[in-house]
Amino acid sequence: MSEEDLAGHWETLTPTQAQRRRIDAQVFAWLEARDTPLVVEWFRLVRVAPVPAFGFAMVSAISIAITPPFVWVARALL
C-alpha cells in the first residue's frame, strides 16, 4: 500500500464538517430518545417481569436491613 492509497482511505474515514454535524445530531437524538428516568425503568421492569422485580426489591430491602448488624459484628470482632 502506498502513501497515496493510505491517504485516500484515511480521507474516507474522516467526515466533513457537514457530515460531523449530521452524525452528532443523529447521536444526540438517539441519546435523547433513550434517556429515561430511573422510575420509568423500574415501571418497565415491573410491567415486563413483576416477579423478578418484586424479588429485586425484596433483596434490596433485606440487604439494607441486614448490613448494619453485620458491620457491628465485624467491628466487634476486629
Shared domain check, 44 and 75: yes
What pLDDT sits at residue 49? 63
Residue type for 10, please? W
* Residues 26, 33 contacting (CB under 8 angstroms): no
Shared domain check, 60 and 41: yes
Domain range for 7: 1-35
pLDDT digits (tens, 9 = 90+) for 10-67: 777 777 788 888 888 887 887 777 666 767 777 777 676 666 767 778 888 888 888 8
Shared domain check, 23 and 42: no
Residue type for 18, please? A
Shared domain check, 78 and 41: yes
What total number of domains does the chain contain? 2
What pLDDT sits at residue 50? 65
- The model scores a pTM over 0.75: no
